[in-house]
Amino acid sequence: MKTKYKGIIVMNYKKRLLCTVIPFLTASFLVGCNKNKQPESSEQKPLEIGDTVKEWKSSKDYEEAPLGTANENSRGEIVKDLGHEDKSSIKYEVIYKAKETYLGSDLLETPYFTEDDAKNGDIISLYAYVPSDSNIASLQLEVLPISMDKGMKSDLLTIDENTVNTWIRLVVSFDTLETLGAIRLNYTLADTSYSASFYVDDINITLGAETVKTDYEYKDESLYQTYEEFFKVGCCMSSQMLQNTELRKIARNDFNSVTAENEGKPERILDQKTCQQLAKSDESAVAITSAPFEKIYDFCEANHIKVRHHTFVWYSQVPEWFFKKGYNNSSSNVSKDVMLKRMENFIKITLETINNRWPGLVYAIDVANEAVENHTIRNNNNMWYTVIGKDFVYYAFKYARQYAAEGQKLYYNDWSYDNDAQNLTYALNTLLTPIINEGLIDGVGIQGHKGINENMEIILNDAKQIFKKGLECQITEFDLTISGTSEYTKQKTAIKNLITKILKGNIEGTMNVDAFVMWGIDDAHSWRRNQHALLFTDKFGKKPAYYGFLEAIQSVRPVEEVTE
Ligand SMILES: [Ca+2]
């Protein structure tokens, strides 16, 4: 396998012994970094899935690691008579006889790959060999993010008659967005009364190879191109999804609208520390950071995908401190006047940030989200309501209209009428009335989180009611759960029917659906994981539901045009 080096910024490395046992991996990694002193040049080809990022496999690789230095816990030695593919590896002898401990690093001083380098599904692996006279009971490879929290572990390798005297590969996938913090080989001893030894070889980092066994197949078909003249076809994406090459490929091919799943929500973008600083002179000043959604929006801009920004005013996922004096968690609430000013500033600076950096990218904004409950305004557990009162939605639209760019569509978004039309009646006839009357709103979003046995007609009826109010509509977060693969066909039929009826409604002029957005791409990255709610399988294969979506176009176009 060809080895390509991804650019590493080599910092002045001051050796610090953080390790409780022999720091072979740390050392190897640092040597690996130092071997590659040149930062990635602009002409260098980017790494592709399956490429080796770094590997250590021969005595020459290991020689550069200071493995001869023993400490009180264990001792490592390069051997030239036993190896995985060649005759070299590292032999470890355990001196520190705890029942359970580990070999490797506590924290990599210079992490081999950083958040920017990390791709979803990067693979770290090594081969281990335990001789039959060793008393090692089990081995497990573990990688940790820099927070040293929630390590990801390989399968536990139990040493028994099947695994002894055999080179066994331990594999772990590093798919966090955090910087790589540490690599460890955890081991347990069967008996602490005598020492144990084992061998390690072929330490390897591969770009996403193990997760690339994908069922994705491009067949010269595209959802968004198929529906281009009728409505946008969208999906949500998370930062984690963005790291996945296959999901990026699918997003580019099938969708022309993206909503950040969580990365644009107030709790993610409000900057408490800066808010607190600003509050010393101005209690209503607000600071945000666009960092959480930057990569998603950059990706969309680069690929000509429009963005729905989600969301400004929502009872959930907004920090309580945002409503408190001095932005301090334990203070009392600010006054209505101050909170309105904060709301205005929050909306203003968010829109300025978005529109200055990505002009023309954001085409729709969920100004207010889920403000209706039980056929009335959501007045429970809702700080916006508590501090501002029942007109908080009105003010949000007022400010959004004031600061939005020309043509940016302002949406009210909710799921409360996914199954209860009376909630929509309240929204359209009461909550949004002054907002509609003053022209502050463009559309109403139907989230559409549905189950296969639920009534789908309600979505169509909702869309018609919205149209009657002179508003456009988007299906903003659609997914459709089923019990398992046996219901794939049922799911396909339901989606095909729904899309067919929306197309007809748009054409006949009974509704104006401007976008149909799936809440995700593949079943594995769905918030309703294990419920098979989306258009692509866990392995990115196109489900019957995908083809149901695609085939609905046949109701308005001759079939032969579809297969051209
Ligand atoms: Ca070797």
What is the distance in A from the centroid of ligand 1 to the CA of 205?
15
What is the count of structural domains for the chain?
2
Q: What span, in angstroms and rounded, lies between the C-alpha atoms of 508 and 137? A: 71
- Domain stops at, among 206, 221, 251: 206
Answer yes or no: is pLDDT of 109 > 80: no
* Angle, alpha carbons 472-475-477 (nearest 5°): 145
Task: For residue 522, give Cα distances in angstroms to 194, 224, 241, 445, 538.
Answer: 50, 16, 9, 22, 6
Give yes or no: residues 364 and 506 share one domain. Answer: yes
What is the distance in A from the centroid of ligand 1 to the CA of 79?
9
Give yes or no: residues 134 and 230 share one domain. Answer: no
Give yes or no: residues 381 and 336 share one domain. Answer: yes
> What Rg, from alpha-carbon coordinates, does the chain have?
28
What is the distance in A from the centroid of ligand 1 to the CA of 6?
23
Answer yes or no: is pLDDT of 481 > 60: yes
Please report, rounded to a whole number, the percentage of residues in the chain having pLDDT higher than 70. Answer: 83
- Domain stops at, among 206, 230, 257: 206
- Domain stops at, among 159, 174, 206: 206
**Which of 32-41, 295-304, 446-455 is predicted most confidently?**
446-455
Q: What span, in angstroms and rounded, lies between the C-alpha atoms of 458 and 417? A: 8
Answer yes or no: is pLDDT of 280 > 70: yes
Q: Which residues contact 267 (CB under 8 A, 6 or more apart)?
A: 317, 318, 319
Q: Is residue 564 part of a domain?
A: no
Q: Is residue 561 part of a domain?
A: no
Averaged pLDDT, 21-38: 35
Answer yes or no: is pLDDT of 10 > 50: no
φ and ψ at residue 63, rounded to 5 degrees: -60, -30
**336-357 and 392-403 helices, crossing angle to 10°:** 30
Q: Is residue 562 part of a domain?
A: no
Averaged pLDDT, 303-313: 96
Q: Which residues contact 43 (CB under 8 A, 6 or more apart)?
A: none
What is the distance in A from the centroid of ligand 1 to the CA of 213?
27
Encoded amino acid at 399, one letter: Y
What is the distance in A from the centroid of ligand 1 to the CA of 202?
6
What is the distance in A from the centroid of ligand 1 to the CA of 11?
29
User: Strand, coil or helix: what is 391?
Assistant: coil
Structural contact between residues 96 and 72, judged by C-beta atoms closer than 8 angstroms: yes
Ion ligand 1: residue ranges with CB closer than 5 A: 57, 83, 86, 88-89, 201
What is the distance in A from the centroid of ligand 1 to the CA of 189?
25
Give yes or no: residues 379 and 239 share one domain. Answer: yes
Give yes or no: residues 138 and 79 share one domain. Answer: yes
Q: Is residue 347 part of a domain?
A: yes
Owning domain of residue 114:
5-206
Supply 28's token pair.
């190897």
Averaged pLDDT, 169-178: 73
Q: Is residue 65 part of a domain?
A: yes
Give yes or no: residues 116 and 202 share one domain. Answer: yes
* Angle, alpha carbons 112-118-119 (nearest 5°): 140
Q: Which residues contact 374 (CB under 8 A, 6 or more apart)?
A: 423
What is the distance in A from the centroid of ligand 1 to the CA of 60?
9
Give yes or no: residues 390 and 513 share one domain. Answer: yes
Quote the pLDDT of residue 561. Answer: 47
Indicate which CATH number applies to the domain containing 270. Answer: 3.20.20.80
Quote the pLDDT of residue 118. Answer: 58
pTM to 2 decimal places = 0.68
Give yes or no: residues 262 and 319 share one domain. Answer: yes
Backbone region of residue 428 per phi and psi (left: phi > 0; alpha: psi in -120 to 50; beta: other values)? alpha
Task: With CA atoms as reference, report the closest residue to 239 among 318, 313, 288, 176.
Answer: 176
Indicate which CATH number applies to the domain containing 44. Answer: 2.60.120.260
Q: Is residue 560 part of a domain?
A: no
Give yes or no: residues 154 and 264 share one domain. Answer: no
Give yes or no: residues 237 and 190 share one domain. Answer: no
Give yes or no: residues 193 and 269 share one domain. Answer: no
pLDDT tens column, 339-377? 999 999 999 999 999 999 999 999 999 999 999 999 999
Give yes or no: residues 186 and 225 share one domain. Answer: no
Q: Is residue 563 part of a domain?
A: no
Q: What span, in angstroms and rounded, lies between the C-alpha atoms of 171 and 161? A: 21
Quote the pLDDT of residue 119. Answer: 56
Quote the pLDDT of residue 431. Answer: 98
Answer yes or no: is pLDDT of 191 > 80: yes
